[in-house]
A and B are shown apart, each in its own frame.
Chain A
């Protein structure tokens, strides 16, 4: 490596080149993720985004679902700052299908506790070309 290259904090000629490279790199990464999710991923497992409890499950095995259909309703602790005070109350949230597809398995039933990012709620085969 030349002395000129040593001490530089980038492998690119200039910061501008590095900025452009970062944008190209992200474009490739995002394109890869979108294509993978739309066309390659075989099945999709829906997991909760927060801890809670299943109040109602509205789909069953082998059911065809459409984007926007209600999959399940869960109860969670809603924490919000109101006038500077942290308030906590029970709330419910409906989770809708983000794409068309077919339910392969249902992993929970009413009353089950949900663990953020862990519990498998349903496994579905989504319509190719859509983003689950």
Chain B
């Protein structure tokens, strides 16, 4: 089949996108309200209050069901282009989250976020490089797994792959492992957070550090506290998430340099051999975070309306729809068969690194991050 161009390319997006929007509409209009009223185990709203099944988590679950049940494990051609707008919606939602802050508020927690994220990102990368070598994994697999576990399941794995000569199957394996781990943590984290009486600030900091995917960080924070507003778990978690995303070029540089040094000079990939930090930074910097800071600047100047105003309320409602659409798509990128295939050494390394980061982050946050919110 030929690559679609122009209008045909746009039209091809419509069916899949319609499924994503329609699903979210049904979840928000009928399913979540029903769950809020449903009496389970004698408690009204048990499904939402105890299982944290709000429309955000339901969106991801619906996507998983589409892919693995209705679509038989593969997104069909008629819907694929639409579902590939997933990351556009997630990135747009992250940009809009910038409206939750002012520059002063960001400055208050920014330094703590940078310190924690830097320690955990690079600590995890070095751990995976060491542990992967110890268990005898291929260097290219270690590289993409290090990027996946260290900074971001999808973007960093893809960005690192050319520099370490990783095969597409290795990238897919790393992504599947880390998304699978993220799914698990997404459901258990709200229980742990509530059981340990974490504040929104602590929960956001923990999840933003310990979970490796923007959509999953958001979904987990909203499962803990479903409000989009300053001072809520999602507002704190997203600061950590943005700092983590910004570190992608640095991680790509470190892993590629490590791969090149480890190999003989002649077998080192051209992409890796020519790598300079400034070039990696220019090529790989996720420019959408500039939009996030742009929104924060607009919020600081009061251009988006006063806090508590109807304008900000509508903006946040639109933002929640944008995220919800993206999360239906994100769920549809989780292939359970792929997760089952992600066995052996990569799975072991991914799970050990992911769990270690998740648990150590929780301990550090409980010990060193105050329950009192910074803003």
Where the two chains meet, the residues of B that have a C-beta atom closer than 8 Å to any C-beta of A are 1-4, 9, 12-13, 77, 80-81, 84-88, 91-92, 95-96, 154-155, 158-159, 168, 197, 199, 229, 286-288, 290-291, 294-295, 298, 303-306, 308-311, 314-315, 318, 322, 333, 370-373
Bound Cα distance from A26 to B77, whole angstroms: 28
B90 to chain A, nearest CB (A): 9
List 17 interface pairs A-B (beta carbons < 8 Å), by A numbering.
Answer: A2-B2, A7-B168, A9-B84, A9-B154, A9-B158, A16-B287, A18-B288, A19-B286, A22-B291, A23-B287, A26-B295, A29-B318, A33-B318, A34-B304, A44-B310, A81-B371, A99-B309
- Residues of A49-101 at the interface with B, using a CB-CB cut-off of 8 Å, are 49, 80-84, 86, 95, 98-99
B54 to chain A, nearest CB (A): 15
Bound Cα distance from A104 to B92, whole angstroms: 36
Partner of A23, one of B12, B168, B291: B291
Partner of A95, one of B77, B294, B308: B308
Q: A19-B288, A26-B295, A37-B311 are in contact. Are A8 and B84 (CB under 8 A)?
A: yes
Q: Which residue of chain B has its CB nearest to the CB of A37? A: B311
Q: A1-B77, A10-B84, A81-B371 are in contact. Are A23 and B309 (CB under 8 A)?
A: no
Partner of A6, one of B80, B86, B229, B291: B80
Q: Which residue of chain A has its CB nearest to the CB of B294? A: A23
**B95:A26 contact, CB within 8 angstroms:** yes
* Ranked 5 nearest A-B pairs via Cβ: A81-B371, A22-B91, A19-B288, A131-B305, A23-B291
Q: Which residue of chain A has its CB nearest to the CB of B74? A: A6
**B88:A1 contact, CB within 8 angstroms:** no
A30 to chain B, nearest CB (A): 7
Q: Which residue of chain B has its CB nearest to the CB of A48? A: B308
A103 within 8 A of B: no
Q: Which residue of chain A has its CB nearest to the CB of B330? A: A9
- Hey, which chain B residues are within 8 Å of A98, CB to CB? 305-306, 308-310
**B3:A5 contact, CB within 8 angstroms:** yes
**Which of B155, B288, B370 counts the most chain A CB atoms within 10 A?**
B288
Where the two chains meet, the residues of A that have a C-beta atom closer than 8 Å to any C-beta of B are 1-2, 4-12, 15-16, 18-23, 25-26, 29-30, 33-34, 36-37, 41, 44-46, 49, 80-84, 86, 95, 98-99, 131-132
Partner of B315, one of A6, A19, A33: A33
In the complex, besides A18-B88, A34-B304, A131-B304, 20 extra interface pairs with C-beta distance below 8 angstroms are A4-B3, A11-B81, A11-B85, A11-B88, A18-B87, A19-B288, A20-B288, A21-B88, A26-B96, A33-B311, A37-B314, A45-B310, A49-B229, A49-B308, A81-B370, A81-B373, A86-B371, A98-B308, A99-B309, A132-B311
Bound Cα distance from A6 to B96, whole angstroms: 29
Tell me if B's interface is mostly helix, strand, loop or mixed. helix
**A26:B88 contact, CB within 8 angstroms:** no
- Hey, which chain B residues are within 8 Å of A33, CB to CB? 311, 314-315, 318
- Hey, which chain A residues are within 8 Å of B159, CB to CB? 15
Q: A2-B2, A11-B9 are in contact. Are A25 and B308 (CB under 8 A)?
A: no
Partner of B87, one of A7, A9, A46, A132: A9
A40 to chain B, nearest CB (A): 11
**B3:A1 contact, CB within 8 angstroms:** yes
B70 to chain A, nearest CB (A): 19
A64 to chain B, nearest CB (A): 19
Q: A98-B309, A131-B311 are in contact. Are A25 and B92 (CB under 8 A)?
A: yes
Bound Cα distance from A21 to B10, whole angstroms: 14
- Hey, which chain A residues are within 8 Å of B373, CB to CB? 81
Partner of B310, one of A23, A25, A37: A37
Partner of B95, one of A4, A22, A45: A22
**B88:A22 contact, CB within 8 angstroms:** yes
Q: Which residue of chain A has its CB nearest to the CB of B306? A: A98
- Hey, which chain A residues are within 8 Å of B286, CB to CB? 15, 19
- Hey, which chain B residues are within 8 Å of A37, CB to CB? 305, 310-311, 314
Partner of B1, one of A1, A11, A21: A1
- Hey, which chain B residues are within 8 Å of A26, CB to CB? 92, 95-96, 291, 295
Partner of B288, one of A4, A8, A23: A23
**Which of B1, B199, B308, B311 counts the most chain A CB atoms within 10 A?**
B311
Q: Which residue of chain A has its CB nearest to the CB of B168? A: A7
Q: A6-B80, A9-B86 are in contact. Are A132 and B295 (CB under 8 A)?
A: no
